Structure 1
């Protein structure tokens, strides 16, 4: 099964995509996580019992950003091949930064590039996003794994010259309407990240990144355990977990996103983002 979110009657509604039916619920996806509803639904009967109603006509083009995260946390330099391509040592601890909701867009929305006089050095970064399903504080990695509700797809679009202005990456990572997320959340018990899921990013059909989640330095559970040492993580928080090799910064010559290009970001068995740059 998969979870997502649609807009109907000007309201965000959680949807559960089962094998034969799609059910909508009278709550947002964030509320479905906070209430535990997502753990109640396993089949059509339980979806009905939980208050879901069948959507007769549905396709994935109806899906918007799967939830508005309470906190959106990011991990840098978390793939061995990416650290090597940018000439960085493997980190001893997870490298943490944040994004805010102004940067986030849905799976089919346009990526808003900066005005050309502000920057033309805009890069792509395919990333696995982890959706927290349970509140945790100061847990080990086993309990951290249990706190993961599921996984979705993200592209951590980065304005590289602004990112490099200081030692803090924040200002290169938070441009308005730049970071697609979605289209669905796949429950964690359906995917084995450690064994490896293929991750790709293509620009106008040309594959630029072709990586695998097996090459993470820190696993999602290790990241959650680390974060939980100093902060409480709550249902609906999202953590993106780093990007594999193949970013534009490391190509020779370097390549950057341009208006009109279409960015496709895919993680095996989870979903694909398709976003046009404008």
Structure 2
């Protein structure tokens, strides 16, 4: 499944991309449940779906199959994708735990050592922006840099349990794309990453969540970042230092994984701040991250409005 959040009358709705349409899963499940008792009603918001995603995923699949079979593209339960404004797939994840320095060539270009354990830092949900929405150059700095990443979406609660690498993939619901846009001078002026990684509108995320059953091997995905169409980052997730089970095992050592958590897994080499001269994002640019099988996350760059 390819799952999305989208806006309708100023409010978020939860849907699935089916062909060239967005199927509203709440409305469709309500319509189909009347004649199929095996279909549970699906909530209208993605955050509520993730409260019981293990059980509701089966109903979502049944709804999609029936919609495809009827082939009516009924306006009561769907809209053309071209007419829909997408939102971040999860607007308010329980947690966003990012991994730093997870590709050896990126550590090398940054002049930093490879850590013996995954380096992690937190992002805040208020930084998230959707595909197509602007990322803004902050008024206090022009050192705005890109970091294209594969994001893991969690689907099960560890409930106080530490998990092993052998069982970690059982907790993965799906995958998305993240651009860990970073304000470099704020990142490096002290040893803590928090400020540089949490500026307003610095967290492009989406456009979809692809469920794990549709990704044959998350450790063999090409990832490419382009700036105004020019390739700046090009790598494969097979070259990550710490694979997904290792990352999840390390997170679960200190805090529970929860359904809807977002785990960006680190960026490969090719960021802008180590170019000679450095290259930073500026007004009028377009930055895009592509992972085949998931899609393209593209965002224009605007200057921050003065207030």
The TM-score, its normalising length taken from structure 2, stands at: 0.83
Rounded Cα–Cα distance in structure 2 between residues aligned with 1:45 and 1:254:
47
Q: Alpha-carbon deviation of 1:61? A: 5.1
Q: Alpha-carbon deviation of 1:220? A: 1.6
2:163 matched residue in structure 1: 139
1:85 matched residue in structure 2: 109
Rounded Cα–Cα distance in structure 1 between residues aligned with 2:66 and 2:208:
17
Say which of 91, 100, 103 aligns to 1:76. Answer: 100
2:33 matched residue in structure 1: none
Q: 1:42 is paired with a residue of what secondary structure? A: helix
Rounded Cα–Cα distance in structure 1 between residues aligned with 2:212 and 2:164:
18
Q: 1:171 is paired with a residue of what secondary structure? A: coil
1:255 matched residue in structure 2: 279
2:289 is the counterpart of 1:265: yes
For the 8 Å contact 1:72–1:239, the answer to whether it is kept is yes
For the 8 Å contact 1:127–1:155, the answer to whether it is kept is yes
2:21 is the counterpart of 1:41: no
Q: Alpha-carbon deviation of 1:20? A: 7.8
Residues 197/60 of structure 1: CA separation in 2 closer, same or farther (3 Å cut) = farther
Q: Alpha-carbon deviation of 1:19? A: 5.0
2:27 is the counterpart of 1:13: no
For the 8 Å contact 2:20–2:80, the answer to whether it is kept is no
Q: 1:183 is paired with a residue of what secondary structure? A: strand
2:47 matched residue in structure 1: 30
Q: Deviations over 1:172-224 (max 9, x none)?
A: 11101111100000011221445411111111111111111111111122211
User: Tell me, which stretches of 5 or more residues in structure 1 are unaligned?
Assistant: none
Rounded Cα–Cα distance in structure 2 between residues aligned with 1:9 and 1:119:
35
Residues 12/259 of structure 1: CA separation in 2 closer, same or farther (3 Å cut) = same
2:259 is the counterpart of 1:242: no
Q: Alpha-carbon deviation of 1:41? A: 2.5
Residues 233/150 of structure 1: CA separation in 2 closer, same or farther (3 Å cut) = same
RMSD of aligned alpha carbons: 2.0
For the 8 Å contact 1:110–1:277, the answer to whether it is kept is yes
Rounded Cα–Cα distance in structure 2 between residues aligned with 1:103 and 1:180:
8
2:213 is the counterpart of 1:189: yes
The TM-score, its normalising length taken from structure 1, stands at: 0.91
1:221 matched residue in structure 2: 245
For the 8 Å contact 2:137–2:144, the answer to whether it is kept is yes
Rounded Cα–Cα distance in structure 2 between residues aligned with 1:138 and 1:187:
24
